Amino acid sequence: MAATATLRNPATATISNGRATLVLALCYAVYAILLNSVGTVILQSIINDDSNATKPTDQSPGIKATFKNSQLNGGIQGDDDKRKMFVTLENTIMKGPVNHAGLALEPGSTWTATGNSDLVILKGSLAQIDAPAGVTIQAHTYKDMLAAGTYKLAGGGTLTVAN
């Protein structure tokens, strides 16, 4: 299946050893792509250990990614505690864990956590979130979108919301 990707803002896509790597500056959007992770992560922020790198401040904008009309198989991992990561899914199906990131589920999008997850749900409804039995999602929600408590998901997993 051929897929096309359009990258907005400064970004470079490279493929090495069958693994796609996206090097980006602050934000990007990907349109109409089928993305399967070779490992377990499709998008990850990391701390830049270069001693000459610009140090982030409280005003650092963080990372913003939008996936549109896509299918994603792999996780999202925010490992840079100085820059927040925000991911928006628009008409996109995602299967994978999400950790240390904000996730917005626009209409037409669904997310199935395939591994334990810890995140902030910025937008969406309970009907757009699923997990198989044995998988737990720990979440905070934006503006108390979901009431605090534990929810049993259709696939048998659980969503625990603490606002």
Give a yes or no: residue 119 inside a domain. yes
pLDDT given for residue 68 in this prediction: 87
State pLDDT tens for residues 109-125: 999 999 999 999 999 99
**Domains: count for the chain:** 1
Instruction: Summarize the confidence of residues 51-76 as an average pLDDT.
Output: 80
Give a yes or no: residue 32 inside a domain. yes
Structural domain boundaries enclosing 86: 11-44+62-124
pLDDT given for residue 121 in this prediction: 97
SS (H, E, C) the chain: CCCCCCCCCCEEEEEECCEEEEEECCEEEEECCEEEEEEEEEEEECCCCCCCCCCCCCCCCCEEEEEECCEEEEEEEECCCCCCEEEEEECCEEECCEEEEEEEECCCCEEECCCCEEEEEEECCHHHEECECCCEEEEEEHHHCCCCEEEECCCECEEEECC
Give a yes or no: residue 30 inside a domain. yes
Give a yes or no: residue 93 inside a domain. yes
Give a yes or no: residue 21 inside a domain. yes
State pLDDT tens for residues 4-41: 344 443 333 333 333 444 444 344 455 555 656 556 78
Give a yes or no: residue 98 inside a domain. yes
Give a yes or no: residue 155 inside a domain. no
pTM (2 d.p.): 0.78
pLDDT given for residue 38 in this prediction: 58
Instruction: Summarize the confidence of residues 146-151 as an average pLDDT.
Output: 94
